[in-house]
Structure 1
């Protein structure tokens, strides 16, 4: 079966390369020897990352299938029995394989030859659906039916959705008898609306109760659309995290199955340490309550990690829109001020890394968050169980309570400082309508005296505060590892956070090419000329 899989993958690669050549021959060169071979072939564009806003549903469905192939690549690299150098070459070849195999599907969405693109897309989608169905039916590793269903369900849904969208495009082509399109749109509809809303006050109509709930989750704006750049990378990241989550949920059952096989092998043997190995292996079965605690802690940690990763992607979408709209208005926020000295070379180079960084950071954030949360839960719950078994839980709780007396006392003294500051150390309000008292010390003798005494009290508070600061920093960093839109480093060191740097560089490039005012202005000046120039040509 493995040889058949290799042959099928090789055939997929050859067919994909031939289709890429076909789409390249459909395009015409503009600058490099346009007189040679009638200007063909040219470089086809799989995805319009720079200024693409159309067909986002199709790209979203295609990127979901691409995420499955990328996940297969990661698992294949881990199963290769070779030295790390060979694994590195296998990984690099796998990256080329993933990009090449799904390039024709993306080209069939992007090409202006919509009839050919629809036919190729339909065939490719049917092939992708067949591959996913074959993998689900084969089930080489003996997974449960529920696991197979949840694992391949997004792929089947996206394949069906993409198939219907290609059918719709093909029907439109046949009905209108227009088999090609002209890329003459200099400006998108939402960019025109953005300029229109600058000249009038725009108010959102909340509508029904469902509309209000939808508004709380995500505030729709007619003058904004997410580009394909964001939608494509976010969908791949979400797909891979979902698949890894299912693997993590299945991991304890897989581990227990290996232990049972090992126990069967040990029971059939007669070596010296047979009894010891059987006793040690039995610790990892459901008969052991401590293992059950670790197992269910793992399930809870996996769910928490999935929620955190989903929240990161959700916040990325919100922060991207907030940042890009502020930049459209010319607001020089701190986000941009830190990178004003960056050269255009650095901006373009780092913006190319954004999509890959988003996927990698989101995946690493999920992995690290899941493992750390599992360790914390296992130490707390498992430790309480062990202490309860040896009748030391009450003593441990009493000891912890005794150690918490000092932080409680210092916290009470801190509240006393705030109360004295509010009612004794600050001068009264100048006007009764003022929100706060003026920042001017009253009763200076008492302030100076208590300030000297509280040096030593605040020394103890400082020790406790420093510990809390470490805990807070660790917790925030742990749950924000997968975020690219926020730097993890301190202010002044953001340029060393390469993930954040790639995000800001992408914003730079997006604003430089897709500013609505720029696009609308160019459409009024050059739109008719561009349309006239492209009439009757092949290349957009």
Structure 2
């Protein structure tokens, strides 16, 4: 070995020496110490939250028990009435959105519980568990202030929201950059937090100014819900248009496109309002999509850009060491490698964009189906939703499912988006490197060479498939008037036998396509809890779908608008302080829900019709089924259209009396 070779040998060995890496951060990424430290703010905010909760508990209990000052003990205020329609959906959704951002901080940040405590790596997981309880307790008063529904609660809510949003904005203005994984990541991650806290900072002062004086009236607590239930009954009892006036041009393309768009776009319906729990679930799902997509982008795209910028001449020697020769010129090799890195980056960005679009479209589709399922269950049509007739009543598992529905939605959206990104990135990458790039540059046509050598095989399969369709259309199918029948059966048997081997090969391709299609379909619909990814017969083994079923059972059994409208009508008649005759008269006029409520006299036929509608809707109400008297227990067998089931019509016990039927059941 001469001296020149020895020098080159020494140069190559220097590549494997672990040189010390300069870990000093640039000046712009140096650790930032804001004036309001994070740990000091969290300690102060936690103390303020505890003081606000204690004050509101004493204030509300003593205001309700004013006659006896020491009677009763103050209790913890509930954060939000998620089963009540008068719950402020915007405040609940905003607070839950802030909680989702806090979950991301706990999972990613090196300091999950920023309260000034120092802990080791061994105890870090325990502090993460404590942080999962700390952040809900920290933002608890932001919800509790809205449930009080008076000036004091709105004032304290305004102060707390201003405190959280002001300190957050101050800290991000002072320290907008972060060290890892991307310098602008913490600032971008805080955008949903800015929006949610900003919304709270505006809503609480508005409630304080507009509803502060009126909130002293206790009837205001249920007045908005009363209006919603009245609107629901107006739409329910409104006269339906005749079937003859319906459109007959439903087969045109424009109507089909319009129907398809309506099935994926949630349009508010008059007389129906999405439950607060669903509003919160959709909000946190959108925040989760943003947080997960942002994390997936900042973890990969900056790294690919650094790798593309760091490609130099020595990289060609590395490729030659693996036997890869892209070109004889070093400059062209560098250009080709950078071009490939750019393709990978473009495929990744396209994959994450496609994943976000599919996830958002699935969430919108879920909103439409949520409304359809709730309306069907309000009518008592359980067979349309669950595919079987079942009783609508809460249970232990249903309550647990209702509690965890929103959390399950967050987890499924995050995991589904990650899986979609992986699958779509692989598909885009294979399509780019096996089809697009070879066609543009005219080299590395491996896939096309394989297809070229196998073209007789593919042509034979296509020809056989076309022959079968042509024979079935013109030889084996006979049309007699409006009916179709099979003819030339002997030829059918002959060609079935002759094409057996070809159909085996076609069936293999169909089987592979079925696996791919099933996988892609389940991956796209993974974020949806309102549909099971399993077959109808085994959908009970899908834990996410079981959670959704339990959620529906609790919502319908405890938030039925017809039952609550009836109760509000009774409460309104009692609060007005009217006599018995006037009260009954007003109840009947309120039940009718006609446009002109000031008429002194109402036709008897309308009154009878309104009473029948009310009786029928209350009879079909799932909440009242368990409390129904035995004399009307056979009405449980009614279906949604008011007719008896086939088993009830032709039962051998038709001649029994109602009491005997009740005893037998």
TM range (shorter): 0.7 to 0.9
Q: Distance in 2 between matches of 1:83 and 1:413?
A: 70
**Counterpart position of 2:541:** 496
Does the aligned pair in 2 maintain the 1:365–1:481 contact within 8 Å?
yes
Does the aligned pair in 2 maintain the 1:24–1:42 contact within 8 Å?
yes
Provide the secondary structure at the position in 2 that maps to 1:52. coil
Instruction: Describe how 1:182-331 pairs up with structure 2 within 5 A.
Output: 183-184=221-222, 188-201=226-239, 217-252=265-300, 254-255=302-303, 288-331=338-381
Q: Distance in 2 between matches of 1:10 and 1:526?
A: 46
Instruction: Describe how 1:172-187 pairs up with structure 2 within 5 A.
Output: 172-174=210-212, 176=214, 178=216, 183-184=221-222
Does the aligned pair in 2 maintain the 1:347–1:505 contact within 8 Å?
yes
1:252-290 residue CA offsets vs partner (Å, 9 max, x unmatched): 454368879999xxx9xxxxxxx979x99xx99997322
Provide the secondary structure at the position in 2 that maps to 1:393. coil
**Counterpart position of 1:141:** 178
Instruction: Describe how 1:106-505 pairs up with structure 2 within 5 A.
Output: 106-112=143-149, 114-137=150-173, 138-141=175-178, 151-174=189-212, 176=214, 178=216, 183-184=221-222, 188-201=226-239, 217-252=265-300, 254-255=302-303, 288-333=338-383, 335-337=385-387, 340=390, 344-383=395-434, 392-403=443-454, 406-407=457-458, 409-430=460-481, 434=482, 437-438=483-484, 440-505=485-550
Q: Does residue 74 in structure 1 map to residue 107 in structure 2?
A: yes
**Counterpart position of 2:558:** 513
Does the aligned pair in 2 maintain the 1:16–1:102 contact within 8 Å?
yes
Q: Which has the higher helix share?
A: 1
Q: Distance in 1 between matches of 2:576 and 2:458?
A: 73
Alpha carbons of 1:198 and 1:381: their partners in 2 closer, same or farther (altered >3 Å)? same
CA drift at 1:472: 0.4
Q: Distance in 2 between matches of 1:132 and 1:408?
A: 65
Provide the secondary structure at the position in 1 that maps to 2:55. helix
1:323-375 residue CA offsets vs partner (Å, 9 max, x unmatched): 11121222233642469499711211222111100111011111111122223
Equivalent residue in structure 2 for 1:15, among 48, 66, 71: 48
Alpha carbons of 1:42 and 1:18: their partners in 2 closer, same or farther (altered >3 Å)? same
Q: Distance in 1 between matches of 2:518 and 2:142?
A: 44
Alpha carbons of 1:392 and 1:181: their partners in 2 closer, same or farther (altered >3 Å)? same
Q: Please say which of residues 227-236 and 415-424 is displaced more in the overlay.
A: 415-424
Does the aligned pair in 2 maintain the 1:484–1:500 contact within 8 Å?
yes
CA drift at 1:528: 4.6
Count of residues in correspondence between the two structures: 503
Does the aligned pair in 1 maintain the 2:233–2:562 contact within 8 Å?
yes
Alpha carbons of 1:528 and 1:405: their partners in 2 closer, same or farther (altered >3 Å)? farther
Q: Distance in 2 between matches of 1:108 and 1:6?
A: 25
Q: Distance in 2 between matches of 1:285 and 1:172?
A: 65
**Counterpart position of 2:624:** none
CA drift at 1:37: 4.5
CA drift at 1:185: 5.1
CA drift at 1:236: 1.6
Provide the secondary structure at the position in 2 that maps to 1:492. helix
Provide the secondary structure at the position in 2 that maps to 1:427. strand
Provide the secondary structure at the position in 1 that maps to 2:532. coil
Provide the secondary structure at the position in 1 that maps to 2:37. helix
Provide the secondary structure at the position in 2 that maps to 1:330. coil
Does the aligned pair in 1 maintain the 2:277–2:406 contact within 8 Å?
yes
Provide the secondary structure at the position in 1 that maps to 2:369. helix
- Unmatched tracts of structure 1, length 5 or more: 204-211, 268-274, 533-540
Provide the secondary structure at the position in 1 that maps to 2:479. coil
Q: Distance in 2 between matches of 1:82 and 1:497?
A: 40
Provide the secondary structure at the position in 2 that maps to 1:41. coil
Provide the secondary structure at the position in 2 that maps to 1:198. helix
Q: Please say which of residues 153-162 and 463-472 is displaced more in the overlay.
A: 153-162
Alpha carbons of 1:170 and 1:261: their partners in 2 closer, same or farther (altered >3 Å)? same
CA drift at 1:35: 9.0
Instruction: Describe how 1:60-99 pairs up with structure 2 within 5 A.
Output: 60-76=93-109, 86-99=123-136
Q: Please say which of residues 124-133 and 179-188 is displaced more in the overlay.
A: 179-188
Provide the secondary structure at the position in 2 that maps to 1:305. helix
Alpha carbons of 1:239 and 1:169: their partners in 2 closer, same or farther (altered >3 Å)? same
CA drift at 1:40: 2.6
Provide the secondary structure at the position in 2 that maps to 1:49. coil
1:410-432 residue CA offsets vs partner (Å, 9 max, x unmatched): 344334333433333233233xx
Q: Distance in 1 between matches of 2:240 and 2:183?
A: 51
Alpha carbons of 1:67 and 1:394: their partners in 2 closer, same or farther (altered >3 Å)? same
CA drift at 1:14: 2.6
- Unmatched tracts of structure 2, length 5 or more: 1-32, 242-257, 323-332, 578-665
CA drift at 1:224: 0.9
Q: Distance in 1 between matches of 2:550 and 2:372?
A: 16
CA drift at 1:8: 2.2
**Counterpart position of 1:38:** 71
CA drift at 1:18: 2.7
Q: Distance in 1 between matches of 2:144 and 2:334?
A: 50
Does the aligned pair in 1 maintain the 2:80–2:87 contact within 8 Å?
no
**Counterpart position of 1:538:** none
Does the aligned pair in 2 maintain the 1:384–1:393 contact within 8 Å?
no
CA drift at 1:515: 1.9
